[in-house]
Amino acid sequence: MCGIVGYVGHQAAGPILLEGLQRLEYRGYDSSGIAVLDHDGALSVMKREGKLRDLQAAIERMPGGATGIGHTRWATHGQPSDRNAHPHASSSGDVIVVQNGIVENYRELKAELQERLDAEGRSWQSDTDTEVIPELISRELAAGKSFGDALASAIGRLRGANAIAAVHRGSPNRIYAARKGSAGGIVIGYGDGEMFVASDLPALLPHTTSVYHLEDGEIAAIDPESVTIRGQGGTQFQPEPTQVDLDPVAIARGPFRHFMLKEIHEQPRALSDTIRGRARLEPASALPDDLDLPTETLASIERVLVIGMGTSLHAAMIGRWWIEQIAGIPADFDNASEFRFRAPLLGPSTLVVAVTQSGETIDTLGAMNHVRDRWGAPQVVITNVDGSEATRQADTSIIIRCGPEVGVASTKTFVGSLAALYLLACRIGHAQGRLSTEALSKRLEQLLTAPSLLERGIGQAARCAQIAQLFGAASNFLVLGRGIEYPLAMEAALKCKEISYVHAEGYAAGEMKHGPIALLDQGFPVIALAPRGPLFDKMTSTIQQVRARRAPVIAVGDEGDAELAELVDHFIAVPPAPPLLTPFSLTPVVQLLAYQLALTRGLDIDQPRNLAKTVTVE
């Protein structure tokens, strides 16, 4: 949540910061701002409530300067407003800070600093927790410390996970960056006589692929030609940058109207990239090179727990299904934010699988921490971001290689995570001797058809647009699924809520009679996920019950299923898939329905209100 950028070098900082913020806007877009310093220490700060375009015009009138920091905000403390937008300054005006995270003890720190502010006849300029940071630094400077020491002392006083960038009037050719805990990353990009800072790689890629990821507890002093890190314990060193292998084209929208649409269309390619080299047929093996866990560990696992949040939780629910069905061992899923506050009983023979596309979701990281500290159980993370905090915490990682996902709604990383879970289920089943080599080979062959299932599902875009036109004014939807389609019903409802702002509930179809049916009437459309499979007859009984209440039914079923098409009001055909692979044929349709509904309603699809791509605060 929140995006941070920084620049120090020989070019005008303003446009570079603005462009970086545009690439990070998916992390928050309640307000934005930048601060620029010129060589003589003259400082200009510009900030605006609302989208970045509202800041853009104002920046054109800003004085120049080759050093600066910027921020795009997802509000936590203090509502979105010019006043609460970052950057925030010390009351003396010489220390400027942008922050991602939460200062959990800000009330206590504010109270402590209040007396001095009162004595000086000054007052707080915002309602944020952030403002205590420049004030603390300023106090330490006044006590005679160097800026680096003052920043280190101030950070030492903060509770909670925080990533910070700062500039100081007294050091006009330097920016500072610091990271404490898991509040999203800070990456330093190395240019030619210039340096860049950002919360995430997409903001750096147009400038450089030579980067250093700040570790927890590190503070960087960044000059145009060099970076000096102060590590935990005060040691100082100059880090070695590494090269990242990411194509800047991957973060361009291309001919698509929205990133979400682009990313839906990228799914067949993304899934192929996830499984490349990991679904070998001769001899059959799943994930032959990825899992850095001894085969004995995999062979001795007695249970698997899959955790995640949001869309990743829905992937976890489907993963649970596959682990039971394919690997043949007990499996559960859990909402990561709830898991650690219960008293879960794991033991060392439980394998914990964390699903998190960003690898930075604070709830999931919290659950992983709990697993490590309390149980010492082995942990695998399934993530799209190599080097993310989750990969550092887990024993081993499966990187899904989907390429950057920019749309706030997760799409291609959902199918990438699913593919990784399917492969993991195959690998565990084989290691345990419950899945013969022949059966493994069959499972993998089926998985290899998934890109084409996705492709054909995407082919239903026009039909989804027609349905969205018909139901664009509906205020509610019930989405029903059974078995492996139940988590997909939940995913469909989540997508409707987050980008179309439609109230939608995903339910296990069998549950409908136990309460939700009371909602139904002619004005309450029901989406039924009903491909042919072992539970199809039960699903059609549910559809009959819905129709008896006169609620319109939109069914998503197998191509050529005339009987189902006849039974319902509207039918969307998907390719018939093997029973365990229906998530791949249905996913594009549930995504496209939500996308088209949002389009019909004229909503901001890539930046839905109140959301941020990566949730790094609790």
Q: Which residues bind ligand AGP (CB under 6 A)?
A: 309-312, 356-358, 361, 364, 408-410, 498, 614-615
> CB of residue 494 vs ligand AGP: minimum separation in angstroms?
6
Q: Which is nearer to ligand AGP, 85 or 464 (CB)?
A: 464
In contact, 615 and 362? CB cutoff 8 Å: yes
> CB of residue 409 vs ligand AGP: minimum separation in angstroms?
4
Residue 281 tokens, joined? 């047929």
- The closest alpha carbon to 585, from 569, 600, 574, belongs to 574
- The closest alpha carbon to 3, from 90, 102, 133, 98, belongs to 98
Q: State the Cα–Cα distance between residues 581 and 575, nearest whole angstrom.
A: 11
> CB of residue 414 vs ligand AGP: minimum separation in angstroms?
8
Q: State the Cα–Cα distance between residues 318 and 306, nearest whole angstrom.
A: 10
Q: How many CB atoms lie within 10 A of CB 173?
A: 17
Q: State the Cα–Cα distance between residues 34 and 14, nearest whole angstrom.
A: 7
Q: Which is nearer to ligand AGP, 96 or 615 (CB)?
A: 615
Q: State the Cα–Cα distance between residues 603 and 59, nearest whole angstrom.
A: 27
Residue nearest ligand AGP by beta-carbon distance: 310
Q: Is there a catalytic annotation at residue 496? A: no
In contact, 412 and 260? CB cutoff 8 Å: no
Q: Which is nearer to ligand AGP, 90 or 356 (CB)?
A: 356
> CB of residue 617 vs ligand AGP: minimum separation in angstroms?
12
Q: Which is nearer to ligand AGP, 290 or 389 (CB)?
A: 389
Tell me, what DSSP letter sits at residue 30?
A: S
User: What kind and span of H or E run contains 465?
Assistant: helix 461-471
Asked whether the CA dihedral 289, 292, 298, 299 is positive or negative, the reply is positive
Q: State the Cα–Cα distance between residues 572 and 530, nearest whole angstrom.
A: 10
Q: Which is nearer to ligand AGP, 605 or 615 (CB)?
A: 615
Q: Which is nearer to ligand AGP, 46 or 615 (CB)?
A: 615
Q: State the Cα–Cα distance between residues 382 and 416, nearest whole angstrom.
A: 9
User: What kind and span of H or E run contains 478?
Assistant: strand 476-481
> CB of residue 589 vs ligand AGP: minimum separation in angstroms?
16
In contact, 145 and 13? CB cutoff 8 Å: no
Catalytic residue among 180, 262, 495, 613: 613
Three-class SS of residue 442? helix
| CA distances in angstroms from 605 to 262, 472, 592, 593, listed in the order given | 12, 15, 12, 13
Strands (E), 494-598: 503-508, 526-529, 553-558, 570-574
Label residue 81 exposed, middle or buried (CB < 10 Å: 0-12, 13-18, 19+). Answer: middle
In contact, 392 and 289? CB cutoff 8 Å: no
Q: State the Cα–Cα distance between residues 379 and 388, nearest whole angstrom.
A: 15
Q: State the Cα–Cα distance between residues 265 and 21, nearest whole angstrom.
A: 25
Cβ-Cβ contacts under 8 Å for 615 (sequence gap 6 or more): 1, 309, 361, 362, 363
Three-class SS of residue 439? helix
In contact, 443 and 326? CB cutoff 8 Å: yes
Catalytic residue among 2, 426, 464, 496: 2
Q: Which is nearer to ligand AGP, 408 or 577 (CB)?
A: 408
In contact, 223 and 8? CB cutoff 8 Å: yes
Q: Which is nearer to ligand AGP, 197 or 365 (CB)?
A: 365
Radius of gyration of the chain (CA): 26
Q: Which is nearer to ligand AGP, 453 or 612 (CB)?
A: 612
Residue 548 one-letter amino acid? A
Q: Which is nearer to ligand AGP, 140 or 498 (CB)?
A: 498
> CB of residue 311 vs ligand AGP: minimum separation in angstroms?
3
Backbone angles phi, psi at 355, to 5 degrees: -110, 120
In contact, 532 and 576? CB cutoff 8 Å: yes
In contact, 125 and 83? CB cutoff 8 Å: yes
Q: Which is nearer to ligand AGP, 361 or 607 (CB)?
A: 361
Residue 171 one-letter amino acid? S
Angle at 134 between CA 131 and CA 137, to 5 degrees: 140
Q: Is there a catalytic annotation at residue 464? A: no
In contact, 482 and 510? CB cutoff 8 Å: yes
> CB of residue 363 vs ligand AGP: minimum separation in angstroms?
8
Q: Which is nearer to ligand AGP, 315 or 554 (CB)?
A: 315
| Residue positions annotated with a catalytic role | 2, 613
